[in-house]
Structure 1
């Protein structure tokens, strides 16, 4: 996220056991366009959807609401330092199922640690090829060694613009209040979980209002908004 925005909008966590727990939002102006990046909670690459907590699922789903009416692009972050095996593919597919199937049309795979690239795409085999095909073979590579290189960000931005033109708009999602079907039926525990959900929802709205108040004014051309998905153990802002 910081590389894309060209500034330290998101905190960097050195401990690999830590990850984003609530969605964060950052803004910048690139090539005369206002850019909004949402850093959503991620999940461990070997975790199934069932392994992810219900509150994390809700936070991931609600992350798209931080850039209304919806993100123009979803960046699916894949670190080149991790093997993309069948369990990783399953994890990605299950967590992306939190959204409508249409989300794949708006998704671009973002490979990080680009200095590890080599023949990664070929080497990782059919699982990675399957994912890329699901995303229309759209991908981009960001190198952590070229942190201040504007060219890699401009190229990413152009790919996003091309995808938006092809899709003729952004990804939208119907905001539906959960009926808490996943909660136990015991009254007290159910109430506590619903209170926690309401608290998370209010925090999300508060963050959105604060973020909107900090947006750069008067962009020279229409804005582009990007919602990011975190797909590995480390906290990584996109």
Structure 2
């Protein structure tokens, strides 16, 4: 925890005084994505229970590097299940997660565990889960690779190339934004500071956070414009 205090003075001068983060991820045969663990690493404290499955969305907050950081953990779904077989309550909890950090999250962290391969089924399931939040949600998404210690000394870029087109397609949808969290470096503030800087850069590019109402209005406006153009 001393490392957090050591770096906090550098972050206090930054104009972004609050970061709102939603964690999204699935699970497979008892292999957890590491969402709750990622939330604990980000907040620098064990605020999410990692001994059980997250059954409903829950928010925790803490001051980190002089900023108020709100992290929302959401229920994981089975990667191998199509959306229609994912429990309706889990789908609703994920959609409602945006309301637990008003006016909306700065970023959706899509949690991908390095200890398993990312397949076409995984990609399709994730795209379907995110669909109710509109296509514009991807502008606010970043991939976070958990269980980073499995990489050993291998650069994450090598892992991305090795995994193939499904993972690369997901990264493209997220603007090629990604980060690695290593649970063996739990108290290493640098990996969290670097993540925050990537989020802040994304927020600047997007000129704000994701809000469901505004994004839906933009989507309807886009569709209306397309309809007008087709009619013309």
Report the TM-score, using the length of structure 1 for normalisation: 0.70
Q: Deviations over 1:8-37 (max 9, x none)?
A: 111111xxxx52111111111122111000
The alignment partner of 1:41 has SS state of: coil
Match of 1:182 in 2: none
Match of 2:132 in 1: 98
Specify which of 8, 12, 17 is matched with residue 46 of structure 2. Answer: 8
Match of 2:73 in 1: 39
What is the CA distance between 1:44 and its match in structure 2?
1.3
Matched residues in 2 for 1:105 and 1:33: separation?
23
What is the CA distance between 1:164 and its match in structure 2?
0.5
Matched residues in 2 for 1:43 and 1:19: separation?
10
The question of whether the paired residues in 2 share the 8 Å contact of 1:20 and 1:42 is answered with yes
Matched residues in 1 for 2:209 and 2:134: separation?
13
Specify which of 207, 210, 213 is matched with residue 171 of structure 1. Answer: 210
Q: Deviations over 1:174-228 (max 9, x none)?
A: 39xxxxxxxxxxxxxxxxxxxxxxxxxxxxxxxxxxxxxxxxxxxxxxxxxxxxx
Report the TM-score, using the length of structure 2 for normalisation: 0.71
Match of 1:159 in 2: 198
What is the CA distance between 1:173 and its match in structure 2?
0.5
- Poorly superposed stretches of 4+, deviation over 4 Å: none
The question of whether the paired residues in 2 share the 8 Å contact of 1:73 and 1:160 is answered with yes
Match of 1:62 in 2: 96
Matched residues in 2 for 1:26 and 1:139: separation?
23
Q: Deviations over 1:32-81 (max 9, x none)?
A: 11100000111111121111111111111111100011000110000001
- How many residues align? The count is 171
The alignment partner of 1:155 has SS state of: helix
Whether 2:163 is the aligned partner of 1:124: answer: yes
Tell me which protein shows more helix as a share of its residues.
2
The question of whether the paired residues in 2 share the 8 Å contact of 1:57 and 1:98 is answered with no
The question of whether the paired residues in 2 share the 8 Å contact of 1:46 and 1:88 is answered with yes
Specify which of 102, 116, 123 is matched with residue 89 of structure 1. Answer: 123
The question of whether the paired residues in 2 share the 8 Å contact of 1:104 and 1:135 is answered with yes
The alignment partner of 2:53 has SS state of: coil
